Chains A and B, each alone.
Chain A
Amino acid sequence: MSENGAVLETVSVTKAFGGLTAVDDVNFEIPERSIVSIIGPNGAGKTTFFNMLTGLYRPTMGRIFFEGRDITYVRPDRILARGMARTFQNIRLFATMSALENVLVGQHARLRAGLFRSILRTPGVHREEREAREKGRELLEYVGLRPDAVDQMSANLSYGDQRRVEIARALASDPNVLLLDEPTAGMNPEESKRLTDFMRKLRDDRGLTILLIEHDMKVVMDVSERITVLDHGEKIAEGPPEEVRKNPQVIEAYLGKQAS
């Protein structure tokens, strides 16, 4: 934890693709056990920002700290192992693996079996596998997947179930911080509401910190304790929902400048 109690903190993070600055000098922090949203118009750099946090992109400048440690150039799999997991905007399940197998891959960093012990299937490996499967089933039940869908290939699952499996897969690594990239995309209002409740439950049950990219303003205003607004890669506003809602710069970014 850094001095100010932030579990995740970025300092002047910048990402340039050639001449285009996708994320520009963003300072940002999330307090522990909070739910924070990042919003902004299309192309504002939200997903790029996520990809830097999770190690897929290296920032051009700036540093990222997770639980007080610098993770700026750390590999994605190590970042996950340290306790930050994510979902993707377009669902990226392993399509030909079952729901359960997907969640087992999510546990990869928490399992120990190596090449030789797997070949010999030592009693330790045997137990580990059994426990991993048990945990996988529990997680899938926790996110609300029907029991008969557990062994189904994930490509055959409904869109909503795929979203559930992806969240279960991220939870499988026992993260402290969960990053959700547009989790309600393609959901109807009722499903969105259920997901919103679920996020609160995650925070309260498991002590998770949740960072969210979201377009659905109803969800954002409902669930977020704090909102950060990006526009053209820059942070233009930050604060509690009611404040951000009234911020003239935010209104301008979303609606365009009023002709005067």
Chain B
Amino acid sequence: MSLSLFSRHRDLVLALILLGGAAVVPFFFEEGAPFMDDAVTALAYVVMALGLNIVVGFAGLLDLGYVAFFAIGAYTMGWLGSGFADKINDGQGVHIGVSGFLDALPGIHLNFLLIAVAAVITTAIAGALIGLPTLRLRGDYIAIVTLAFGEIIRVFALNGTEIDFFGYTLTNGAQGITPVDKIQLPFTEQFTSLNLRPWFWTALGMVALVLFVNFRLRDSRLGRAWIAVREDEIAAASMGVPLVRTKLLAYATGAAFGGISGAFLGSYLNTVNADQFQFSFSIFVLAMIILGGLGNIWGVVLGAVVLSFANNYLIPDVLNPIPGDIGLDFDLTELSFGIFGFLLVIMMVLRPEGLLPERRRKLEMAGVGAGATAGVGETEIEPDVFETRA
């Protein structure tokens, strides 16, 4: 049995154990326990981190604007699952696959399954579009362009009150769209904010789906092409990998996961507004995958869970009272990002490859990265810009 075959089975077993174990966790907590709230958020972040991992971890495209897909997914939720479009259908509203009191409300109210599909499609397209201008760039320059796009989306959302969209404003600006419908899935009642268990299981289902896609893609023709592009674009192109297509597929796939998670969070948080889509969120998700181990799927899951709980539990609930106890008056949560930054610096010193490093990344950190097989003598090829040719 080959090594890769073994590792595939190991991942499957591990996934079944972890997901199965997680599925029974809600029974140990009350339906509305604070822990449940933190856990639902953590799972949603795991989905985002796994999405960003495809772009940054697999394909090596440093994307600093990932929050854009959170935003687009969330606004998709806001539009298709709220009373925002209240004049539609003569104030009767549009209802597909929803029941109970939602059925009588004006606005557009779709079943979450439909909204999730819409969010995936919208964000995948947005991901590819945002990817387009970065195709001729490498490394740090990609980071700068994507960072700008993340900010553009936020400013767009903030000033969305000025944008007319079928007779409504596009985003309703800082006020945002609220309330947002609670999730309703096929064959279920609408979720409530009192019982967080269905939210948890839905988020866990999304994690399972996204994990499955990640593993399948990692061990596929496309996954190999991503790694090849990450290691050496020129060699990859010369070996038959179409750069434009391969990179755009990475952007689109990664974005789609951000979109589905964004739609979920839009509903869960009951609001979609411009303030949620700060640049710091992109860094937050990036920190998760770096902490966990860039490119390693399990590492990314771990990193997302750790940082999510640090942000929502450890800092506000455990550490925050400490300054008060010793007579200092300041809000530790204000320093969250300082603390994350500190954690990252510690990581870079002690374990730069992440908690659970990918075997490739480990080698790269040891100085083996791209070009390490190179002999001496040849000047570096600076190819003519073949990347953008159709």
Contacts and interface: CB of A to CB of B under 8 A. Distances in A.
B13 interface: no
A95 B222 contact: no
Q: Which of under 10, 10 to 19, 20 to 34, or 35 or more describes the interface residues of B? A: 35 or more
Interface in B218-244: 220-225, 227-228, 231-232, 234-243
A155 B373 contact: yes
B232 A94 contact: yes
B375 A91 contact: yes
Interface stretch (B92-100, B297-305, B381-389): B381-389
B376 interface: yes
A91 to B, nearest CB: 5
B232 to A, nearest CB: 5
Interface in A83-126: 85-86, 88-97, 101, 104-106, 108-111, 113-115, 118-121, 125
A108 B359 CA distance: 23
Nearest to B389: A75
Contacts of B359: 96, 153
A258 B374 CA distance: 37
Contacts of A111: 221
Q: Would you list the 5 A-B pairs with minimal beta carbon distance, nearest first?
A: A109-B240, A96-B360, A118-B220, A90-B374, A92-B235
B117 to A, nearest CB: 14
Given A92-B234, A169-B239, 7 more contacts: A76-B238, A77-B242, A96-B227, A118-B220, A129-B220, A155-B368, A173-B239
Contact of B377 (A73, A80, A89, A96): A89
Contacts of B249: 115
Q: Which of under 10, 10 to 19, 20 to 34, or 35 or more describes the interface residues of A? A: 35 or more
Interface in B364-383: 364, 368-378, 381, 383
A109 B239 CA distance: 8
B213 interface: yes
B2 interface: yes
Contacts, number: 162
Nearest to B216: A119
B237 A95 contact: no
B239 A95 contact: no
A162 B373 contact: yes
B378 A76 contact: no
Interface string A182-197: 0001100000000000
Nearest to A52: B384
A89 B384 CA distance: 19
B111 interface: no
A162 B372 CA distance: 11
Given A113-B221, A155-B373, A94 B231 contact: yes
Nearest to A179: B238
Given A108-B240, A151-B2, A92 B383 contact: no
A56 interface: yes
B231 A97 contact: yes
A51 interface: yes
B377 A185 contact: yes
A55 interface: yes
Contacts of A153: 359-360, 363
A115 B369 CA distance: 27
A223 to B, nearest CB: 21
16 contacts: A58-B384, A75-B237, A75-B389, A90-B374, A90-B378, A92-B234, A93-B373, A95-B231, A95-B368, A105-B228, A106-B240, A108-B239, A118-B220, A121-B220, A129-B221, A155-B372
Interface in A148-180: 151, 153-155, 159, 162, 169-170, 173
Contacts of A27: none
A85 B213 CA distance: 32
Contacts of A155: 363, 368, 372-373
B228 A94 contact: yes
A58 B4 CA distance: 40
Contacts of B222: 113-115, 118
B318 interface: no
B383 A154 contact: no
Given A47-B378, A90-B377, A154-B373, A96 B368 contact: yes
Contacts of B384: 56-58
B368 A105 contact: no
B125 interface: no
Between B228, B238, B243, the greatest number of chain A beta carbons within 10 A of the residue's beta carbon is seen for: B238
B380 to A, nearest CB: 9
Contacts of B3: 151
Contact of A105 (B241, B360, B386): B241
